Amino acid sequence: MEFRKLSHALGAEVLGLDICKPISDSVFEEVQRAFLRYSVLLFREQHVTREQHIAFSRRFGELDDNDRSPDTDPQYPELTIVTTRPKPDGKPSESRYTGRLWHSDLCHSLTPAMGSLLRCLERPDVGGDTMFANMYMAYDTLSDGMKKLLEGLHGIHTRSRKFDTLSAERAAFLARQRPVAQPAVRVHPETGRKTLYLGEKVKQFAGLTPEESAPLLSFLNKHAVKPEFVYRHQWRKHDIVMWDNRCTMHLALGDFDMNQIRHMERTTIKGTPSGYLYEAA
Ligand code: OGA
Ligand code: MN
């Protein structure tokens, strides 16, 4: 097994590993170390079944089914499906605009995801890449003054979606979800390094008004995704990309023909508790 860096900022391709074959503990530990070092791992040419995708993901920890989208197959609650494929009744998929704002998975829950493994089953002819940003770098490159200012701040994370594409049931479900306040600066539980933890769905800091929060959020979100902190992944069929949600953000690009099929399936690894339920003042 070998690792080849994908960009200066983050990411490495794992060469010489077939996730369907038995993987010894020592090889698996090497993968885990690489995951902590590179934050994003790419496994190419993984001709796996859904069961094998799930089984490999489980080695990293307990899976989370809390983000189940309405397009998910009830037989596989561990899989979140992100697809442009219309529903059996011909209606558009509700997950077709998933991930179009910079975010970290399950940031709106009290146990944000540790990792995610996204598998590409079908891709459009061109476009539909996913971008990843290194949030250690985003934090480390702030001034000492800004770091101090952020230390006590919490961003308010909601589940609401920007796109008005959801069924009435889904919209009602999302409306019932309480916002969660997450520290703007999080300590990665395994590396001990500080990371910036925000995203484009955060519209406000706890205790500040949206108007007061907006200029700072706008600066931080722009700063965090500077090209030099980003890896852009161009998908191939049979790719699995695994990312560390505790120190990266990601974005699904919508630069493709939405009449073509882009079909992705994701497992989500449960993280450690973070944040608190937010009561608006
Ligand atoms: C996700 C997600 C990005 C993509 O599955 O968590 O944000 O490119 N998807 O589909
Ligand atoms: Mn996501």
- What is the pLDDT, as a whole number, of residue 209? 96
- What is the pLDDT, as a whole number, of residue 66? 64
217 neighbors 202 (Cβ within 8 angstroms): yes
Backbone angles phi, psi at 107, to 5 degrees: -65, -20
Which residue, judged by its Cα, is nearest atom 1 of ligand 1?
Answer: 99
Tokens found for residue 60: 């990293």
Indicate which atom in ligand 1 lies nearest the CA of residue 252: 8
How confident is the model over 18-45, as pLDDT tens digits? 999 999 999 999 999 999 999 999 999 9
Banded pLDDT at 172 (limits 50, 70, 90): confident
Ligand 1 pocket, mutate which of 42, 78, 118, 121 (most atoms under 8 A from CB): 118
Whether residue 98 has its Cβ less than 6 Å from ligand 1: yes
- What is the pLDDT, as a whole number, of residue 132? 99
- Cα distances (angstroms) measured from residue 250 to each of 64, 101, 167, 258: 18, 8, 25, 20
Indicate which atom in ligand 1 lies nearest the CA of residue 250: 7
| 3-state DSSP of the chain | CEEEECCCCCCEEEECCCCCCCCCHHHHHHHHHHHHHHCEEEECCCCCCHHHHHHHHHCCCCECCCCCCCCCCCCCCCCEEEECCCCCCCCCCCCCCCCCCCECCCCCCCCCCCEEEEEEEECCCCCCCEEEEEHHHHHHCCCHHHHHHHHCCEEEECCCCCCCCCCHHHHHHHHHCCCEEEECEEECCCCCCEEECCCCCCCCECCCCHHHHHHHHHHHHHHHCCHHHEEEECCCCCCEEEEECCCEEEEECCCCCCCCCCEEEEEEECCCCCCEECCCC
How confident is the model over 90-147, as pLDDT tens digits? 999 989 999 999 999 999 999 999 999 999 999 999 999 999 999 999 999 999 999 9
Q: In whole angstroms, what is the distance from residue 205 CA to residue 185 CA? A: 12
- What is the pLDDT, as a whole number, of residue 67? 63
pLDDT higher than 80, residue 170: no
Distance 194 CA to ligand 2 centre (A): 21
- What is the pLDDT, as a whole number, of residue 60? 98
- What is the pLDDT, as a whole number, of residue 68? 64
Q: In whole angstroms, what is the distance from residue 61 CA to residue 51 CA? A: 16
Banded pLDDT at 177 (limits 50, 70, 90): confident
How confident is the model over 51-90, as pLDDT tens digits? 999 999 999 999 997 666 667 888 999 999 999 999 999 9
Tokens found for residue 182: 């997450």
Banded pLDDT at 273 (limits 50, 70, 90): very high
For the whole model, what pTM was predicted? 0.95
265 neighbors 82 (Cβ within 8 angstroms): yes
110 neighbors 274 (Cβ within 8 angstroms): yes
Ligand 1 pocket, mutate which of 117, 250, 253, 255 (most atoms under 8 A from CB): 250
Distance 108 CA to ligand 2 centre (A): 12
Neighbours of ion ligand 2 (CB under 5 A): 99, 105
Burial level of 107, CB count in 10 A (0-12/13-18/19+)?
buried
How confident is the model over 178-214, as pLDDT tens digits? 899 999 999 999 999 999 999 999 999 999 999 999 9
Tokens found for residue 158: 């909601």
